[in-house]
Structure 1
């Protein structure tokens, strides 16, 4: 039954009693996240996961169906741009480019041309999956002590972020241009028009954007112009939701790139202004140079894929992203458990899945970094035999507490324990076009509003803080994710595409923003669709929970699993429990129709409703839509 049939019971002011009254599984599925109402504060212990962007409430969303194509992304204006490009005959990559340019304007806290991205692209005609790496790179003059203070200790996170020091070479435009040359159908220039028109004519600031500005207002003001007057009122407060905002400087930048290609960004006046902004920061200058910009190169890498539950081939990004590896590791370890019988939103499920996360994150912290600089045992980390051995460490009676990394096949040399904060602010989009091509794209400028350095209408990233702040660990071992010139920092972004393992048919596209918890959000949705038979919207709605490289298990505050039964049950098994605000932003699209042979797609839950189904996270302001 579609989620829209049910009505979630809003919580009372205590935040729990209304939610715990939802007892049936069908209602749990339909209302799976936090209830309506004002955002709640985190109660994380020191050092545990904190969301990179503030929460903006919970809005129940119905699944979307369409017959020709499907677009799911973080803002309705951006989704509309993508849908319109598809209606004009554009490909999935064309729609992704148009959509990302609009997100740069309407969701500037999360992503933009001053940052980077990873794209999984399925070329239906060639029956080939490609992984495009548009991750930022460290400047050529960067050194392992980049984030070491004068006292010899690592800088504090915000001390490193705000200013020029944290800015890496942006990669998203160069990568998207290459993807367009290979897979685009409409002219490059046409893909910038929706964002240019919105920049010049103005758009209404969304509630989420206004809340994000309010949270960062003091930091924005401290960095001065032009960001201060663009985002803030004269009294220093955030511009309100509904206010009309124009960005003629961004329109001019986009016109230049539309006419001159990515070279207009990486060379000439725009590049000079970027470098000047970074290097001339009054208190925290960076090392980015014109040579770094002109010399930036995208990468086309080999995707990582594993079979899950026999029928499904799940594919993700390889290193330098840890997202694909860690999602596949988690799924591989969970093969041992009958999650269908456990059911969603139960104590056993939260325990077993969190234990698998622990083991996967422990490996992630030790081994994953830029494979062009360090040896990353990617095949070994997702090796089925290795994961079966790791899964045997999971006891259903007691948590393992703080996990220890394993020794996968292919390990070379000793590795040090990483200390990167991993708090990227990101955005995700999922697109399937009428020809069956698909894009799963996650883009980022790292922390909310990036480095807070605004140039020609867009914000610059602070992606260099995704590196470890120390070059070696306490034992003196070199950390794989240490800063090195030209290196790409490790990421948690996990754009994912799912195929039929037997036929190779495209089944679905999924991904999320959310820092290091991206891995948990994406995995949760896959479990929902595969193990529990949920449609894409229901799977996205499911409560968020998880664990990383410590003894703490975080559950989504105010959600259907935030109950005394589950909290006390976890504690009885040795977990330290944290009630956390998880601001996931999952966006997914699945094939929902019938194949030529009359069989339904593996993820089809209502084949008569439309060939494609899409879902958007109720915890953010995104939407899903396609052409009828």
Structure 2
């Protein structure tokens, strides 16, 4: 889990009142902090782990891929620093939903209808949650419940995060992981530490974009946008033949970004893999001149090492009354993680260590896996405009976010239009893939330029954002998963 937060609440109380009066106009007086509770490699990980990485797009399941869970510790640290409501109060709505149940969400219902996902659920302990009593997978109209998880959350609400990291819940979880053949230990849980750092700040014209440092994917996002901003796109860039050139330049930037993917590693364990150059405007300038307007190139031109893509994650963007902004991305990696359900705790275990596949030659105990997660906060130099944004969809996160930001800041689209616009995705093999609603004439023109277009079946890209422009606040939850924005 990565969380970026604008630290406006640390200003004096009279200043906070002034911020509210001016409708957040001076919120930039605060600092942007990142809280990384990304899972880590257990002490007793399997030495041949990376030799088990699949070479095709498939579910990576099994206990050997489980990383040390850190998200709950992250929320605890953030709550201790910024929280207003009592800790236990935060759990009440989720406990109620888990215990009483709720109608199976339509999007999840469609996913469970995919044979590959249905078979995964039926063949694993996930069936305890996502199957009916007759072992058929839940469908539309069925009620989804998490009774054991409700009990676990009640205990954590009452006793705090230590109930998980040093208490009985942790002991129960470790017991279930070991029963599944895993190597996670109580010492792994007890020793987990949240990383609190200053955000990296990247100039984007009149905006400053604040992103989490590696091993998060913010550097990839910044690299693409730094290249794109130099083309000086405007709304007219989407007219006539200019539209083809605009998307061609974007695709080329995405290909160069893919070529830098292996540089994004945990800096604590990989000091020589310094990715700070990726947010440098000078580096983007040097790459931009390598982009030809009428052709594309083979993989070696972009330094691309072909690799399978990943899909998963969830995101929420928040703008608070006092001017605080929060952008938080959370995941257990692929859908249903390692496909291991802990019956003693109700927790579904992650498969985060799969993120090392084809992006590392070795791993170390305590290391955070590389990630595409890129929660971001953009602030205008005038202080009048703020954009809190993030995405889900695994490898598609940087694509969906970069296009949404480009559409909104430079191509003149409203926030809703920017997020809803069909995306073009450059996959790990340098193939170019288009959402079904994408302009067919543009696709054909890009083929003529030389782009290798493939028919990609899955688009899991979702972006959620909230923007403040002068005195107007707009919140958009991506309709691809039938999400809705909410205000209180």
Scaled by the length of structure 1, the TM-score of the pair is 0.70
Instruction: Write the deviation string for residues 181-217 of structure 1: whole angstroms up to 9, x where unpaired.
Output: 0011111110000011112222111111222233322
Q: Where does residue 69 of structure 1 map in the other structure? A: none
| Higher RCO (C-alpha under 8 Å, 6+ residues apart) | 1
Structure 1 residues 366-397: Cα deviation after superposition (integer angstroms, max 9, x where no partner): x1111110023232121111110011110110
Pair 1:333-2:212 in alignment: no
2: CA distance between counterparts of 1:337 and 1:403?
Answer: 24
Contact 1:492 1:516 in 2 (8 A): yes
Q: Report the Cα offset of residue 617 of structure 1.
A: 1.1
Name 2:422's counterpart in structure 1.
543
Aligned to 2:155: 256
Q: Deviations along 1:96-137, whole A, 9 cap, x unmatched? A: xxxxxxxxxxxxxxxxxxxxx100011123401001101000
Cα distance per residue 1:131-155 (max 9 Å; x no partner): 1101000101225522425xxxx45
* Partners of 1:433 and 1:572 in 2: CA distance: 48
Q: Please report how far the alpha carbon of residue 454 of structure 1 lies from its aligned counterpart in structure 2 after TM superposition.
A: 1.3
Count of residues in Structure 1 that have an aligned counterpart in Structure 2 = 460
**Would you identify which runs of 4 or more consecutive aligned residues in structure 1 move more than 6 Å?**
157-160, 417-420
Alignment of 1:555-574 (within 5 A): 555-556=434-435, 558-561=436-439, 563=440, 565-574=441-450
Cα separation, 2, equivalents of 1:421 and 1:546:
13
Q: What is the CA distance between 1:222 and its match in structure 2? A: 1.5
Counterpart pick for 2:44 among 106, 127, 141:
141
Aligned to 2:335: 448
- C-alpha distance 378-166 of structure 1, shift in aligned 2 (>3 A): same
CA distance, structure 2, for counterparts of residue 400 and residue 232 of structure 1: 48
Structure 2 residue 290 is the aligned partner of structure 1 residue 290: no
For 1:161 and 1:549, the matched residues in 2 are separated by 17
1:340-489 aligned within 5 A: 340=234, 341-343=236-238, 346-365=243-262, 367-375=263-271, 376-404=273-301, 421-455=308-342, 456-468=345-357, 479=361, 482-489=362-369
Aligned to 2:33: 130
Check conservation: 1:144, 1:470, Cα contact below 8 A: no
Question: What CA distance in whole angstroms lies between the structure 2 residues aligned with 1:279 and 1:446?
Answer: 20
> Which residue of 464, 470, 483 maps to 1:587?
464
How far off is 1:504 after superposition? 4.5
Which stretches in structure 1 are left out of the alignment for 5+ residues? 1-116, 407-416, 472-478, 595-610
- Greater CA drift, 452-461 or 387-396: 452-461
Deviation at 1:162, TM superposition (A): 2.0
What's the counterpart of residue 532 of structure 1?
A: 411
Deviation at 1:235, TM superposition (A): 4.4
Alpha-carbon distance in 2 for matches of 1:155, 1:326: 24
Asked if the contact 2:252/2:291 (under 8 Å) is kept, the reply is yes
In structure 2, what is the Cα distance between the partners aligned to 1:147 and 1:280? 22
Question: Are the equivalent residues in 1 in contact too, given 2:306–2:429 (CA < 8 A)?
Answer: no
Q: Assess if the C-alpha contact under 8 Å between 1:357 and 1:548 holds in 2.
A: no
Q: Which residue of 1 aligns with 2:25?
A: none
Give the superposed CA RMSD: 2.2
TM-score, normalised by the number of residues in structure 2: 0.89
Q: Does 1:241 align with 2:124?
A: no
Q: Which runs of 5+ in 2 are unaligned?
A: 11-29
1:264-283 map, 5 Å: 264-281=163-180
Distance 1:448 1:159 in 2: 11
More helix by share: 2
- The CA deviation at 1:247 is 2.1
1:219 aligns with 2:120: yes
* 1:312/1:498 contact within 8 Å kept: yes
Distance 2:431 2:447 in 1: 10
Match of 2:51, SS state, is coil
